[in-house]
Amino acid sequence: MFYKFCKKGAIVMLLCLFPFQDIYAQKTLTVRDTASMYAAARDILIGNRSFVTLLNFLADPTNSEGDRKESISNNIEQPNNIFLSKKINIEGDTDPESLIPGKHEESIEDYLTSFNSYYHTTIDNSIEFTLKSASPIMRADNKMAYVKMHYSQIFKGKSMDGKPYSRSYRVAEVFFNKKGDGDQWQAYINSVKFEDPKAAVDDGSRNIPIVNSNANAAPEIRIERDETYYRSYLLKGTYALSENKYADAYRYLKEAQGSPKFVGEANSLFSKLKAQIRSTVTMETDSFFHSVLKRRAKEIEDNHKYEEAKAYYVFSRECDLSDKSIPDRITRLEDKIYVQKEMDAAYDKGLYDQAVLSYNTAIRSDPENSDLYLGRAKSYVMLGRDADARNDFNIAIRNDPANIDIYFWQGRYFESKSTAPAYDSAYACFVNYINKSLYKDDPALKPIHSEATYCKAMSLYKKNSFLEAIDSFRSAINQNPGYFQAYCYLGCCYFERRDYAKAIEQLQKSIEINDKYADAHYWYGKTLRQKDWTKYQDEAIREMELAISIIDNNKNMNWFLWNSELADILQRAKKYDDAIKYYTNCINIDQGKYFLYYLYRGECYHLGGYNDNAGKDYYTYKTWCDKYGVPPNPAYQKDLDQLNNGK
């Protein structure tokens, strides 16, 4: 439901007008302020908690009238309102002839309430907004900051009388409230009107002056990086220098200079870079760097790599502070980066449905951006929508075959499927990631090398080629000594070859590295049972119980198998109460699919002396047999006779 979706978002209290006046008494805005404000304005129109999302919800005929009313209330009243007040004006466009400015103006509450009486459709996302431009940030008479967001809209369906809608052009006034003491801003829509082609262009006569946020600030603090990170950039810089890729060499070596360990080597290479440039060009070095970095930044920006492009613009600005165009470009990129991070944050919080909606909106505005398709594919994976995920992975690769992150996440997706063909596909994806990387000896690639080898080993293991799998698992461990999954399934290979001593050795190593890895505990318990049931019975059961408690999720592919096997073991060990618990877990997954487990649990109830419960389970089992037209297991009648004789 749309209103439930909104309640998951950040809750921001709308301040009254008097605090607004205090907040907006400030005379300047920083670059970070403006980036946050434009991003908030974009989001309130076409983002997660937006006007267009609300309209699509109201247009959907599958939503009840009660849901519509609650959604409207939730969006126009505190604390989740997206409009400045309930009384703002909107020029209605539900009538396909209403394309004349000022023809039909009403309050937002009336407009939303009557919306589905004019328009509805069964097409998903049938109403689209596309941003065209935004005015400068201005100050209203009451000192509140605002922008005018110019956009086009299209209603893809038809009006109730069957007339098609034409694309129309709108302008929304978006006002701002600052969130806390930082540079984050909350946006609220104050009015929506048709765009008047005769109106004067926004002149920004009451603009709030902008200051460079770095003008009087302390130097930017770099994020702490590990040795592998800096070593990776040093090697990339070396490679770029050898290829005469001056912009890349500059950026990578500058990054490597941040490491005390590699700063000497990076400085030496940087001197070579400057000397090489002076021998080939007549421009001053700093001016040349400014030019090539700016050009490289534009190339990367055109490929929709906004964060990377920003890094090049930042270095370009450092080379020539007189270039006044770069701060504006950085601000524009920060806006896009902010939107992307907001979507990534929804994914990180597990709000995958919300993330998909946000990516849908962003893709419509930026359809060539492979990172957006990648983000949506990852969300689809978490929602179990495999076909949609595969389609988005393919589109992302088609849009940008050089984007190595796509191959990494596609590999992780295939790896999660846990079948031999899927592991083969995962291996191919990780190999693609390595081959398309800039520098093949980059130490940052070592974990990917080991994961590719692990997938190859798992494919062999699934195909029962245990000897070959053992060699591959050992190779993965050599590449990454902390690879606890590789130790675990190396132990499984030895288990399948009945070399239980070696199996136990490898499984113990896996548990030592990560004692929360359920697979290692399960196979360790299973191996102990196989090696010497009499001696290790209690320990084996304890390990298998621990494995089940770690996953504790009936959606896990191992849940049913492990519960079923452990219940069977416990029944044979005459631990009937414990066996009943795990048989119940199996039944709770799907009573109709696993109705045979009523018989198994009934046997445990019977043998444990719980005759009433046993009778109920036998009756339920017989009922399912009759429903499916299958004969009962012969054990059923035998146990039932014993039960009746006992009574």
Query: Please, are residues 207 and 148 in contact by the beta-carbon 8 Å criterion?
Result: no
- β-pair type (29-30, 210-211): parallel
pLDDT digits (tens, 9 = 90+) for 160-201: 666 677 778 889 999 988 766 556 788 899 889 887 766 666
* Mean pLDDT, range 202-216, rounded to an integer: 55
Q: Which helix (H) or strand (E) holds 105?
A: strand 105-107
The residue among 633 and 597 whose pLDDT is bigger is: 597
pLDDT digits (tens, 9 = 90+) for 297-320: 888 888 788 888 888 888 888 787
Running DSSP on this structure, what letter comes out for residue 16? Answer: P
Decide: helix, strand or coil at residue 416: helix
- Angle ∠(434,439,443) on CA atoms, nearest 5: 80
Helices 484-496 and 466-479: crossing angle, nearest 10°? Answer: 160
CATH class of this structure's domain 576-647: mainly alpha
Candidate from 87-101, 421-435, 619-633 with smallest mean pLDDT: 87-101
Per-residue pLDDT at 147 exceeds 70: yes
The phi, psi pair for 207, rounded to 5°, reads: -60, 145
The residue among 40 and 380 whose pLDDT is bigger is: 380
Residue 263 to residue 230: CA distance in whole angstroms? 9
Per DSSP, the residues of 542-561 read HHHHHHHHHH--TTSTTHHH
The chain-wide mean pLDDT, for the chain, equals 80
* Mean pLDDT, range 432-452, rounded to an integer: 84
Asked if the peptide bond before residue 136 counts as cis, ω within 30 degrees of 0, the response is no
Q: Give every CB contact of residue 634 below 8 A, 6+ residues apart in sequence.
A: none
pLDDT digits (tens, 9 = 90+) for 558-594: 888 999 999 999 998 899 999 999 999 999 988 888 8
Exposed/middle/buried for 632, CB within 10 Å: 0-12, 13-18, 19+?
middle
Specify the pLDDT at position 601: 93
pLDDT digits (tens, 9 = 90+) for 260-285: 888 888 888 888 888 877 766 555 67
Per DSSP, the residues of 595-612 read THHHHHHHHHHHHTT-HH
Read off the pTM. Answer: 0.58
* Mean pLDDT, range 233-242, rounded to an integer: 84
Q: Which helix (H) or strand (E) holds 363?
A: helix 352-365
* Domains of the chain, residue spans: 2-205, 576-647
Residue 505 to residue 485: CA distance in whole angstroms? 14
Place of tokens 């509140």: 144
Largest CA distance in the chain: 106
For the chain, the 3-state helix, strand and coil shares in percent, each to the nearest 5, are 60, 10, 30
pLDDT digits (tens, 9 = 90+) for 394-408: 999 999 898 889 999
